[in-house]
Amino acid sequence: MHRLHPASVLIVLLLACMAPATGAGQDQVLYRWRNVAIGGGGFVTGLVFHPSEPGLLYARTDVGGAYRRDAASGRWIPLTDWLGPAEANLTGIESLALDPADPRRVYLAAGTYTHERAGNGAILRSVDRGASFERTDLPFKLGGNELGRGNGERLAVDPGDGRVLFLGTRAHGLWRSADHGASWQRVEGFPALATAESAAAVDHAGRRQAIGIVFVVFDPASGTPGSPTPVLYAGVSSRQSGLFRSRDGGRTWSPVEGQPTGLRPNHMVRDARGDFLLSYGDEPGPDRMNDGAVWRWSPASGRWTEITPAPQSSDGEGDGFGWGAVAVDASDPDVIVATTFRRWKPHDEVYRSTDGGRHWTPVLAASAFDHTASPWTAQATPHWMADIEIDPHDPDRVLFVTGYGVWASRDMRALDRGGTVHWVFDDAGLEETVPLDLLSTTQGAPLVSGLGDIDGFRHDDLERTTTQFTGPRYSNTEGLDYAGREPLHLVRAGHLHHPDPAVVRVAQSRDGGRSWTAFAQEPPATTGEGRIAVAMSADGARVVWHARGGPHWLTVDAGRHWQRVDGLPRGAVVAADRVDAARWYALDPADGGLYLSEDGGESFHRAGASTGAVDARYRVDLLPAPETRGLVHVVSGDRGILRWSGDDLERIPGVEVVHAAGLGAPAPGNEVPALFLAGVVDGIDGLFRSDDGGRSWLRIDDPQHRFGSLRMLTGDARVSGRVYLATGGRGVIYGEPAR
Is residue 62 part of the annotated active site? The answer reads: yes
Alpha carbon of residue 641 to chain centroid:
28
Are the CB atoms for 241 and 260 separated by under 8 Å?
no
Q: Considering the candidates 62, 81, 329, 701, report the single residue annotated as catalytic.
A: 62
Tell me which amino acid residue 368 is.
A
Integer Cα distance of 653 and 694 in angstroms: 7
Q: Is 683 helix (H, G, I), strand (E, B) or coil?
A: coil
Tell me which amino acid residue 468 is.
Q
Exposed e or buried b for every residue in 158-179, given b needs 16+ CB within 10 A? bbbbbebbbbbbbbbbbbbbee
Nearest partner of 409 among 395, 419, 430, judged by Cα: 395
CA 136, 140, 144, 145 dihedral sign is positive
Are the CB atoms for 167 and 216 separated by under 8 Å?
yes
Quickly count: other Cβ atoms within 10 Å of residue 668's Cβ: 8
Are the CB atoms for 373 and 40 separated by under 8 Å?
no
DSSP 654-665: TEEEEEEEEEEP
Separation in Å, CA 453 to CA 69, 462, 729:
24, 20, 12
Are the CB atoms for 172 and 199 separated by under 8 Å?
no
Q: Considering the candidates 271, 453, 481, 577, report the single residue annotated as catalytic.
A: 453
Quickly count: other Cβ atoms within 10 Å of residue 368's Cβ: 8
Q: E-assigned strands of 537-589?
A: 543-547, 552-555, 563-564, 573-576, 584-588
Is residue 716 part of the annotated active site? The answer reads: no
Separation in Å, CA 618 to CA 639, 680, 705, 709, 722:
10, 13, 22, 12, 24
Are the CB atoms for 407 and 400 separated by under 8 Å?
yes
Tell me which amino acid residue 367 is.
S
Q: Is 34 helix (H, G, I), strand (E, B) or coil?
A: strand
Integer Cα distance of 318 and 308 in angstroms: 19
Integer Cα distance of 555 and 88 in angstroms: 39
Catalytically active residues are 62, 453
